[in-house]
Copies of this chain bind each other. A is one copy, B any other.
Amino acid sequence: MFRLIKKSAISRARLGKLTTAHGVVRTPFFMPIATRGAVKCLSPEELTGLGAQIILANTYHLFLRPGLEIMGKAGSLHEFMGWSKSILTDSGGYQVFSLARTRKINEQGVEFRSEIDGRKIMLTPELAMEIQQSLGSDIMMILDECTGHPTDYRKAALAVDRTSRWAERCKKRHLKNGEQLLFGIIQGSVFPDLRLKSAMEITAIGFDGYAIGGLAVGEPIKKAYRMIELVAGKLDQNKPRYLMGMGKPEQIVQAVKLGIDMFDCVIPTRNARHGLLYVNKKNRKSKAEFDGAFYQELHITNARYRNDFRPLDETCSCFACRNFSRAYLRHLFANNEPLSQRLASIHNLAFYLGLMEKIRGTIKSGKL
């Protein structure tokens, strides 16, 4: 389970160890996104080499394709995709709310049409659990009702209540064999009293960890930080805390300071595929504290890199930076060579996973 190793004296940052059925994961950590059972362009071997300890896969996509029958025959998602470390799966709720064209929500669950074959599917809390059990993920998430931004107070309040009732139903279906952890999700949009209410209700039910959902959906970042601070302050310090879907490097640093342990975000890999690289600033003062701009975004498709034979990031020792120049990567992007997306993805994940390692080191040395 989770062991808290250290609490910072100068912020709410924490160091910990989360033990799953597939190993120990040091917190705070970042999860690369393997939506359909593959981190785009990368092999499991490369992910391990980059220091990934755990990845996130999407229940919604994997339920629609390949589906539970094939997943059952494979044994688990780990077996299917050849990944032997930990996997967290979302509940599918977020995708139903954001992707499915027609959806109806009622107390039973969310009904939507499959984008593959058009059939109607009713995603209930029980089905969300069943799918995640079939996937064999190490960390399962409850089915929650996600609200976007902006949302009016009344709708956000109803979503909080429904999320609590669904959380109860998920917990009832949680097999207590110690193989899969189950995390609750706290909703409440940007309304402090709803966030507090949700935190109270979800923690009262009791889960292996707690996620803050419904942020990174378009709200001002300061409001997001306020909600994180508020909620994190109410959570059991001996349970891991997961901020869903956020974010940029500086947002991760800020959320760590507010007591968050777990992150996922699509931007390092998605932006990589569009040629946007995260690059550490050279020769920074007070590097350890992540003050000011500690990195920059490098648009490798820009013509200025045609003749730039430096590594992508002069401070980085990832496979892409050790072996290739900016000029070469730009050439690959200019010609739509598929290797371009792969090299950029490797670097951006090296940046993110390296950032988490630095964050852990800086908490350890008492400077964050």
Contacts and interface: CB of A to CB of B under 8 A. Distances in A.
A115 to B, nearest CB: 12
A328 interface: yes
Interface in A51-100: 61, 65-66, 70, 73-74, 80-82
Contacts of A45: 319, 323
Contacts of A327: 66, 70, 73-74, 80
B307 A339 contact: no
A128 B341 CA distance: 31
B335 A43 contact: no
Contacts of A306: 66, 70
Contacts of A334: 65-66
A44 interface: yes
B324 A82 contact: yes
Interface string A23-51: 00000000000001110111111000000
A332 interface: yes
Contact of A41 (B66, B309, B319, B342): B342
A40 B82 contact: no
| Copies of the polypeptide in the assembly | 2
A81 B45 CA distance: 22
A338 interface: yes
Nearest to A320: B43
A135 to B, nearest CB: 13
Contacts of A36: 331-332, 335, 337
A58 to B, nearest CB: 11
Chain A interface, >50% SS class: helix
A70 B307 contact: yes
Contacts of A325: 74, 80
A308 to B, nearest CB: 10
Interface string A342-359: 110000000000000000
A42 B339 contact: yes
A309 B79 CA distance: 10
Contacts of A61: 335
A331 B37 CA distance: 9
Interface in A154-190: none
Contacts of A65: 331, 334-335
A80 B328 CA distance: 6
Contacts of A43: 319, 323, 339, 342-343
Nearest to A36: B335
7 interchain residue pairs of minimum CB distance: A82-B323, A41-B338, A38-B339, A36-B335, A66-B331, A38-B337, A80-B328
